[in-house]
């Protein structure tokens, strides 16, 4: 089943970390039940039962589109118990030394949630890939990322494009929707993130690079939103080339 989250529930999810780029795996109770259920929530708004009907729901969202499904779906009254991290998914693999394959994917290595935070260098650009132009994790008014937001690196995104790789499989996303938007972020030297390798999840192999900004970013690092079909500028160019939104 596919449902719509109440605005108060969406706001509570936006205060919690993501499970992966663009989604949260949650345990929650329906208003008429004392038992926890599993749900996948897209963009903190569209709630999908994680049960035997999940693949059918996922295909329906792809066919009809996120916006259409959000407008058609009924609200669901949920009480949030927890947001799960990807280590709690059954497909999490044993960590080993990371080795890059012919598509620039890494085999092995640890996920971001397993690693210690590092400071950004103020030079490298990070990319938030999304199926949603209005990605709720990007605060456009304050030009920053919210706490607990995942991105990849610009270098890994360029590898993904160069090899014509499937970003849904590379970043182990639970949806089949086209990844249409790339949000460019240039964190400041005071911002911290946890780097890692995307672990297998949601029936996908992973192997892309991920970065988890536990505390989001300071104001102003968000510098550009581009459609993924547009030509991508070189990572060596100045951030001034990216300023503004489309």
Closest CA relative to residue 181, chosen from 124, 138, 123: 138
pLDDT along the chain (246 residues), means of 10: 96 95 95 92 96 92 93 96 78 43 80 94 96 94 95 95 92 90 96 94 90 95 85 38 34
Q: In whole angstroms, give the CA distance from residue 65 to residue 162.
A: 27
Find the farthest-apart pair of alpha carbons in the chain and give their distance in angstroms, rounded.
55
Q: In whole angstroms, give the CA distance from residue 96 to residue 197.
A: 11
Place of tokens 């108060």: 8
pLDDT at 231: 53
- Say if residues 27 and 36 touch (Cβ distance below 8 Å): yes
Q: In whole angstroms, give the CA distance from residue 246 to residue 190.
A: 27
pLDDT at 95: 36
143 token code pair: 């030009």
Closest CA relative to residue 187, chosen from 104, 126, 97: 126
Query: What's the Cα-to-Cα distance from 106 to each of 96, 146, 186, 187, rounded to whole Å?
Result: 11, 27, 24, 24
Distant-in-sequence, close-in-space partners of 86: CB < 8 Å, separation ≥ 6: 19, 20, 25, 92, 111, 113, 172, 199, 201
pLDDT at 198: 93
- Residue 6 carries which DSSP code? -
Q: In whole angstroms, give the CA distance from residue 129 to residue 171.
A: 9
- Global pTM reads 0.85
Q: In whole angstroms, give the CA distance from residue 206 to residue 167.
A: 9
- Say if residues 210 and 152 touch (Cβ distance below 8 Å): yes
Q: In whole angstroms, give the CA distance from residue 114 to residue 116.
A: 7
Strand, coil or helix: 177? coil
């Amino acid at each position: 089943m596919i449902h719509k989250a109440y605005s108060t529930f969406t706001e509570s999810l936006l205060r919690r970390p993501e499970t992966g780029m663009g989604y949260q795996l949650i345990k929650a109770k329906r208003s008429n039940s004392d038992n926890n259920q599993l749900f996948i929530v897209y963009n903190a708004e569209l709630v999908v039962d994680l049960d035997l009907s999940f693949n059918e729901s996922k295909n329906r969202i792809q066919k009809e589109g996120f916006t259409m499904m959000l407008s058609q779906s009924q609200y669901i009254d949920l009480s949030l118990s927890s947001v799960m991290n990807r280590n709690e998914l059954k497909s999490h693999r044993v960590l080993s030394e990371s080795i890059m394959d012919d598509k620039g994917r890494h085999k092995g290595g640890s996920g971001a949630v397993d690693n210690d935070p590092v400071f950004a260098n103020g030079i490298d650009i990070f990319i938030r890939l999304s199926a949603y132009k209005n990605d709720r994790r990007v605060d456009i008014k304050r030009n920053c990322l919210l706490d607990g937001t995942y991105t990849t690196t610009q270098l890994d995104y360029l590898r993904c494009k160069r090899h014509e790789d499937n970003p849904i499989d590379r970043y182990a996303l639970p949806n089949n929707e086209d990844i249409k938007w790339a949000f460019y972020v240039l964190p400041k030297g005071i911002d911290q993130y946890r780097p890692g390798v995307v672990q297998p999840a949601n029936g996908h192999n992973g192997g892309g690079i991920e970065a988890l900004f536990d505390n989001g970013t300071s104001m102003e690092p968000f510098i550009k939103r581009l459609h993924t079909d547009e030509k991508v500028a070189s990572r060596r160019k100045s951030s001034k080339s990216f300023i503004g939104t489309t």
